[in-house]
């Protein structure tokens, strides 16, 4: 199998997309060669059978130049790949679909978002198979879509013991990932304010950067949490490299993720693999992990009540749910399991010995 991967960024230290570096490594184990075309490349250390080509964002090129480079690469490498895997961005399927179809390349698209449009549907028509991780994803309703494991590197994400004393920080809360309205960070801060008004003791750490389009949102939530920051109950931190996140997870008792169903935020499972209790509002997880950790969407009162309730539980409670969460990730969403299922579907489609 010779593979072309189209993705946003190749950078093992990126706080959001650093995980995909490990995906490329795993693809390389199953393929004769892998060509990666990315919008931006930074630091990476990949096997010898991987070739990385950048559209040039790290050099500040224009969008027109990106498109020119995209067509240049898919043309010049056309004899070096049999199939295409487009990660997250349907635009590349729209740009390259006709070309790849003409040259007999199989097209596989990974898209995991609750919303879609006519362009999503066109991209799906071009694709031979579509992958997502949630039944609430826009793409999940199409016949050619396969639900996949999230792909957590369980060799990297595992319980590391917590603080220097080997224990997690008491009443500690963590939010980690991109800061934007869809993550509902403002709901978390409102819940923290309610807890503070009741005199509940806690420490909350929010790690993450905001994309340019969400800078105003970031300013608003910083202003909203100003009082808690002054009391040293709330701390904002910049996004950290993906390889450093397991240590951060393991220091905290609770990870809070308020992303709605439609997308399946991988940070939920990264945290679970580190045996941190995840308070979540994504109904896709209902029945899969402890329902006692489920909260209503956009409901800071319910969230505050849930946090306070959990603060009062004993260590045995945390240990039991934490272990169950770790086992769930290993058995259902490990990176090795994802690659096994992905390559099975891709190989069958490419070599036509099964549908």
DSSP for 141-197, written as a single string: GSTTEEE----B-TTTSS---SSTTSSPPTTEEEEES--SGGGTHHHHHHHHHHHHH
Token digits for 160?
Answer: 């590391």
* Structural domain count, the chain: 2
Tell me the CATH number at 138: 3.40.50.2000
129 and 264 together in one domain:
no
Q: How far apart are CA 303 and CA 209, in angstroms?
A: 23
Domain range for residue 215?
172-332
| 212 found inside a domain | yes
Torsion of CA 194, 198, 201, 206, to 10 degrees: 10
Same domain, 6 and 112: yes
3-state SS assignment for residue 311: helix
For residue 194, being part of any structural domain is answered with: yes
Residue 131 is assigned to a structural domain of this protein: yes
pTM equals: 0.89
The tokens describing 321, both together, are 């749910």
Q: Cβ(236)–Cβ(206) under 8 Å?
A: yes
Residue 163 lies in a domain: no
User: Distance (Å, rounded) from C-alpha 320 to C-alpha 290?
Assistant: 10
Going residue by residue through the chain (355 aa), what tens digit of pLDDT does each one get? 899 999 999 999 999 999 999 999 999 999 999 999 999 999 999 999 999 999 999 988 789 999 999 999 999 999 999 999 999 999 999 999 999 999 999 999 999 888 999 999 999 999 999 999 988 899 999 999 999 999 999 999 987 655 444 578 899 999 999 999 999 999 999 999 999 999 999 999 999 999 999 999 999 999 999 999 999 999 999 999 999 999 999 999 999 999 987 667 899 999 999 999 999 998 877 887 788 999 999 999 999 999 999 999 998 999 999 999 999 999 999 999 999 999 999 999 998 644 4
């Amino acid at each position: 199998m010779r593979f072309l991967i189209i993705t946003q960024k190749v950078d093992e230290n990126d706080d959001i997309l650093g995980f995909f570096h490990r995906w490329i490594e795993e693809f390389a184990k199953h393929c004769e060669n892998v060509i990666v075309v990315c919008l931006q490349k930074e630091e990476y250390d990949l096997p010898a059978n991987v070739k990385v080509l950048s559209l040039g964002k790290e050099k500040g090129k224009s969008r027109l130049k990106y498109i020119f480079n995209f067509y240049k690469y898919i043309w010049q490498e056309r004899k070096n790949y049999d199939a295409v895997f487009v990660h997250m961005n349907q635009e590349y399927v729209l740009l390259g679909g006709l070309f790849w179809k003409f040259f007999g390349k199989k097209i596989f698209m990974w898209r995991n978002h609750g919303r879609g449009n006519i362009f999503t549907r066109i991209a799906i028509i071009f694709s031979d198979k579509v992958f997502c991780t949630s039944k609430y994803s826009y793409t999940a309703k199409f016949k050619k879509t396969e639900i996949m494991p999230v792909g957590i590197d369980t060799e990297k994400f595992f319980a590391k013991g917590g603080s220097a004393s080997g224990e997690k920080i008491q009443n500690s809360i963590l939010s980690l990932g991109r800061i934007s309205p869809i993550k509902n960070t403002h709901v978390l801060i409102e819940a923290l304010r309610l807890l503070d008004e009741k005199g509940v003791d806690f420490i909350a750490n929010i790690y993450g950067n905001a994309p340019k389009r969400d800078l105003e949102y970031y300013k608003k939530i910083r202003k909203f949490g100003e009082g808690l920051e002054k009391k040293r109950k709330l701390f904002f931190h910049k996004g950290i490299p993906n390889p450093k996140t397991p240590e951060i997870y393991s220091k905290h008792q609770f990870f809070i993720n308020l992303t709605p169903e439609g997308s399946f935020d991988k940070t939920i499972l990264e945290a679970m693999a580190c045996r941190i209790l995840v308070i979540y509002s994504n109904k896709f997880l209902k029945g899969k992990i402890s329902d006692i950790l489920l909260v209503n969407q956009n409901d800071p009162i319910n969230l505050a009540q849930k946090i306070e309730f959990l603060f009062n539980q004993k260590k045995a409670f945390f240990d039991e749910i934490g272990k169950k969460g770790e086992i769930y990730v290993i058995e259902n969403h490990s990176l090795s399991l994802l690659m096994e299922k992905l390559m099975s579907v891709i190989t069958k489609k490419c070599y036509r010995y099964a549908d």
